[in-house]
Structure 1
Amino acid sequence: MSSLFSVDWRELFVPNLSLVELFVRGSIVYLVLFGVLRSLPSRQLGSLAITDLLVVVLFAEAAQNAMARDYTSITEGAVLIGTVIFWSYALNWLGFRFPAVQQFLNPPPLLLVEKGKLLRRNLRRELITEDELMSQFRQQGIEELADVKAAYMEADGSVSVIPEKPRSVAYRTLKRDVVTKGAE
């Protein structure tokens, strides 16, 4: 009964591994996984698909042992979490300070449509079908490819669209007509 309430404080807080080894292991795994994920296309158009979630879960499982072998103390877990946070912040800081690093971390927008014409080479590069792209256009209120002046795949996987005829002009005209009629 006493074993139910006893705590091994030494095992709870004293690491079994060197903290420097934990930092080095965590750093290597983080940077390798970052490189692998960075090299994959942004194909999911800003959404998280089941396959993406599966990749993240499997990466986490595979990376756990590579980062720390069999760690058991809270201190070791805290060092690994701190390492991941450190690299996340460090890469964002480097990207903010140095434009060349920013271009590596977040690729520039990729032109998918220019003057109503699909750039099939760029669609293939991102593994996007014409149907998927047209679905994105419809969600933004655009029915025809000819109505698209330009469309870009952004670094986050979303598609930004510049319509051939800006909607704001039609909206302003409509609003002006409504205001004029309301004043009569």
Structure 2
Amino acid sequence: MDKIIALNWQEMLVPTQSLLEIFVRGTITYWLIYLILRLFRRGTGQLGISDLLLITMISDAAQNSMAGEYNSIPEGAVLILTLVLWDYVIDYVGYKKMFFGGLARPDPILLIRNGRLLRANMEKQLIDEDELMGLLREKEVDDYRKVKTCYLESTGNISVILKKDS
């Protein structure tokens, strides 16, 4: 019964590691994961099961490199705040177009021009015709030949401009 209601205030509130070390570990790990995901992944607007699996596996694999062994609430809070801080900084820098704005917000990729699929661009983004057609149907476009331009935006969404009827 004592284990159910007992609290170890020392372990819960007193850090066992340097909070600065946790901040530095979190910073390095965040930037490493960010750069890997930015360079090798740009989804098409929605998280699929493989994306969720990848994120879960990365978070599990990165846990020890970020935090080592810690038990206290302040240590966990510093790590979480570090990750949130860097996420905000990247969004802010991308918004202000400072430093590496192109990395934070890459240029849109043209996928369709004047009713023609740009297969080289689609291949670079690992988007096949079936996936693109599904994305177009979500925009209520049933035939890519009706499309003047279609871009894969930096957010992973597509934007579509239809040809004007003559």
TM-score band by shorter chain is over 0.9
**1:99 positional shift:** 4.5
Q: Say if 1:82 and 1:40 are closer, same or farther in 2 by CA, change over 3 A.
A: same
- SS of residue in 1 equivalent to 2:140: coil
TM score, norm. by length of structure 1: 0.84
In structure 2, C-alpha distance between the alignment counterparts of 1:140 and 1:40, rounded to whole Å: 26
* Structure 1 runs, 4 residues or longer, greater than 4 Å off: none
In structure 2, C-alpha distance between the alignment counterparts of 1:89 and 1:106, rounded to whole Å: 13
Q: Say if 1:58 and 1:121 are closer, same or farther in 2 by CA, change over 3 A.
A: same
In structure 2, C-alpha distance between the alignment counterparts of 1:121 and 1:74, rounded to whole Å: 50
Aligned to 1:129: 128
In structure 2, C-alpha distance between the alignment counterparts of 1:68 and 1:41, rounded to whole Å: 25
Identity of aligned residues (%): 41
Unpaired runs of at least 5, structure 2: none
Q: Check conservation: 1:14, 1:75, Cα contact below 8 A.
A: yes
Q: Check conservation: 1:151, 1:162, Cα contact below 8 A.
A: yes
Q: Deviations over 1:128-151 (max 9, x none)?
A: 111211222222222222211000
Aligned to 2:33: 33
Aligned to 1:170: none
Larger Rg: 1
Aligned to 1:103: 102
TM score, norm. by length of structure 2: 0.92
Q: Which amino acid in structure 2 is aligned with residue 20 of structure 1? A: L
Aligned to 2:14: 14
In structure 1, C-alpha distance between the alignment counterparts of 2:57 and 2:156, rounded to whole Å: 21
Q: Check conservation: 2:113, 2:148, Cα contact below 8 A.
A: yes
Q: Which amino acid in structure 1 is aligned with residue 88 of structure 2? A: Y
The answer to whether structure 1 residue 87 and structure 2 residue 80 are counterparts is no
Q: Deviations over 1:20-45 (max 9, x none)?
A: 11000000010101001101242x42
Instruction: Name the count of aligned residue pairs.
Output: 165
Aligned to 1:155: 154
**1:63 positional shift:** 1.2
| Worse overlay, 139-148 or 95-104 | 95-104
Q: Check conservation: 1:113, 1:151, Cα contact below 8 A.
A: yes
Q: Check conservation: 1:41, 1:127, Cα contact below 8 A.
A: no
In structure 1, C-alpha distance between the alignment counterparts of 2:86 and 2:10, rounded to whole Å: 29
CA RMSD of aligned residues (A): 1.5
**1:9 positional shift:** 0.7
Q: Which amino acid in structure 2 is aligned with residue 31 of structure 1? A: W
Aligned to 2:51: 52
Q: Say if 1:96 and 1:135 are closer, same or farther in 2 by CA, change over 3 A.
A: closer
Q: Say if 1:128 and 1:23 are closer, same or farther in 2 by CA, change over 3 A.
A: same
Unpaired runs of at least 5, structure 1: 167-184
In structure 2, C-alpha distance between the alignment counterparts of 1:66 and 1:100, rounded to whole Å: 27
Q: Deviations over 1:160-183 (max 9, x none)?
A: 1100027xxxxxxxxxxxxxxxxx
